[in-house]
Structure 1
């Protein structure tokens, strides 16, 4: 699925992104980086540097068909918002409204809004339940209450599926002390840095702390469930600030603790009841406070070391920069250099600033400076050239009064001023126009780049859809072909054909089917791909895979997202009408390109077709049992047994699935043999009578296993002799 996370680079958002990615989803993040850090997210994702209130968000929704939206965008620092309650109101609320509007417009399946325990007041009994009156006392709590109101109204008016999670004090890796909300991170950072720890209040105030992984698990299960409404996500335990300090001291002694005046907005005691979430989501917090603090402390210590290394490297760079002249001083330096050149020329080529020289060097100097640097430097050049002319006049024996009263001096100075200001103004105007055009071009480029990104992503989606259509190779024809190949009444044939069909459809040669007998503790291999590299067990103990089997029965399919060694990539059950497992279809190795929703659905459809054929075949077998078995026994007659034998032989040749054939040496009666066989023969084995005696087919068994099987058969008073692994029954 395609998941959009608003605020995905933050403390909670980044951890949510990594969890959903590991579960096989495509991750998209909108974040304005006001408090989030792009380095927080290590998994593959697509990022948009936008506010959630930005109109460009609509282009993203148009281009990408998101399945779900998780809204975590907020101010990032609760402390800052409490001190300056007007900072985040516009951003957070308008951004939420924009995302809710777009989610409605583009038919998003589900939206999650992360609220806070601060929506509750400090009045009433604890723990708070979801039905308690919402009466926030702080700006942050009011902001979250407002957000909840918008979510509920959108749900009522537009039928938008929204789940609201009121999270207690979350803590854990990636949280920074500037985020606020609880004291754990701040205390840990100060302790590692060996600074004084400041406690606001007397330390007896309590909060309901919950580790980040438990919060993320609740978010994931909320999005996976059909629930919509409000849930409390908490540990349902109160811990005081002094308890937190004691647990941090276990990691490292605290230098000193200073108790200060408590913050006006902080609630004295808080605890949320999480029983509703436990029941609805089948969720439980797994990390006790002591373990959570230990993990957070370890991460913070490693992070502070990395930050120190970054700071030392940046200091080296800053020293290099400081060694160079700043660019803002360059115009003044070059202006002075020009003035020195002017001084040299006037001294060399004239005895008077304006008298004997046929060429006015000052005008050239002023014009060049004005053209290069504009009005400000032109004014300075005029002043410098004027001072130089006065200096030269005085040096030749003149005085200030004579200089002022000589008309040519005044005319030259005025001409310098006019030329300098005129050219400087014109250059400034040109530079201003150029900068304005550059800003327009930059804005257009930014918009173009954004639209190009959206276009490319739309193109990718289009190509994926085209590939799915092309790869389907005429879905109706394929489904018809599969249906025809599974249109059998022999169970063994269905299993064999199912493997062939799945191999072709899933582009793999690692398919196996395990059968499950009634009340059997084991799964028995009945068919598999003929791949020499496919090394799998002939029988599997159900108890060893209890959790996987429970997940399969609950979700209808198991996908090995964690790539656990020895576990198939896809497993799907075949259940009878009563919900009992008949068999399990497994696909072990699949190319990465084929681990898509399309192939997942195709796999499900094929398994459903196999199930339909199997149930029909089993029903047929039951209907003709009188014709297949010797009367009052489970011993197959001649024709039925030979049919199964030939099927087993074909499976050995085509799929390399072994079997052995043994002959019963002697027996008193079919009834007695039937009774003895029921206790020692597996569900996947067959016993049958033909002209010259009674034979047993031991499925998925090799000759080397015969000795151990003989003992089991003798326990049932059945004495046998080995015939071969695949010889014909004459």
Structure 2
């Protein structure tokens, strides 16, 4: 199986200095999120493929394209097909040694099958560079420290085995499919955001336990060593390696050993200096199966190649990691305290009661002020009805409900004043003037209060409409942005996808000619590239129901006839007469897989054959694609033949079918191109005796429709035999000599 390398839109190859389309598998994970941010900051387009089994979407806060799926999924092909990635950084994997020991099947599926799927799709869809995250676990228990890249590989865990197999796959893909692969063997990576699993997770596990005041568990005596490297140093190494021409296997490490006990001492020192807390108790247990004793990777080879060196010391890295864990713990406490709120329903009821009580209290306060003013300053405002003024104020500011309360208070006050003046309480309510006064208070209060309430309701409704309109605007804005993103993605797929406009355009350029012979040559290349086949041919249909081969795939073992006789009732006869495509759906032996006619003015002038195709491409999609490509070829060929007919007087000498030198040279160049690209033979014969041009018509009568007679630039009269080797040409020479036409200088190219 051979992959077709991707053709860039309009023939422009991308360079590493350009903005790249980078796919990062496991991009929401610990290392992946740092790598994604680095490439984003450098101005590249980021695509992340992650199943969120361990990663978190909140780890990425910048603009990117997300695909939530597993690296083993068949859906990944559609992702690669629709997005022409320049580079794939494969970080998705199971990184837990214990998990690989307990569940090796899961480990193999995640680390081997997933990698193989990414390699397959990268090779198939033209990815330029593939970076694989390997591990020091491939060495097992090393014989020497520090370990060099050439050290023997003896992994002692399924995790290490899967990484070794992954490196082997990368090496073979580079050889077989010309995919540049780079394997980076990481030592023990640590840093902010790391989970509590994986070979290097000991630091994050310790810090997490410190924050929760739990015992620190050490598997072994703590003297075992690891090569701890800070995640930001790893990110820089990945970026520099990616932007270089580096391929093969390299170490990403510090080249330094640190014991587990030294890690604990470093954490204790940070706790003592910051005063955050005390170091919990330490519990030593037996070593886990698959754990190695000592490890340190020699990083000199990578440092030399990409001018890189770790910038963070172990102390700096672990302090920054500690700060991150402490901040997360603080945020968690704040979040818990925020959640400890009173019962919501009870709180809401209290709020409602307060809202009702406050206007009533304010009403009584204003009433008290009015009463005080009435009794103390009444003589100064004798012409003003203070009670009516009070009702009006309450109605204006508080509405109908409080206006009714104010009317009741005013009636009480009015009754009290009259009783103090010596009137009987009962007689007040049978006095028409008093009742009229009460009615005025109620009327003013209710009318003004109703108007105010109506305005408040209208204002509240308008406010609600404004809020709703704002929400609708936000929704439409989000929808608009989503549609724009989808539109841009669709445009990218249409222009740059495997069978998109960009690719079709670049291929159809090969049909941009006014010479039929050039089109036949270019058409074969277009069919090969589009239909993913190397067994195609084009035949011309002549009036004698013979097909003459004019173009075919350049494949040494593709043996097809140079001419075919069209038998009645055959599939070929049906295609020519019906002008419809044929698909060999029953897989009839010795029959082409696809046949399509090229039609001009309701007449089949040529036939396109595809003899072989990959089984996976025998789909309705490729049937439709074949129809489209043949239609494009037909259009170009019709245009060319119309041009030839329109320029007959210019192309041929008067009264003959002998080509003038300029046009004969073009036909000869087309035949030479067909030989160079597809090994389609041709023969050029020189007529030795001088003949009058008018007498040469009988020469053309002895030739096929696909052959030409013309004059060369030096005046030599030549015959050009299409698709003819020396043996076949000899028959033509004999036929010409029988008609007393001397031919010499046979030239087979």
TM-score bin (small chain): 0.3 to 0.5
Q: What TM-score do you get using the length of structure 1 for normalisation?
A: 0.44
Bigger radius of gyration, 1 or 2? 2
Q: What TM-score do you get using the length of structure 2 for normalisation?
A: 0.43
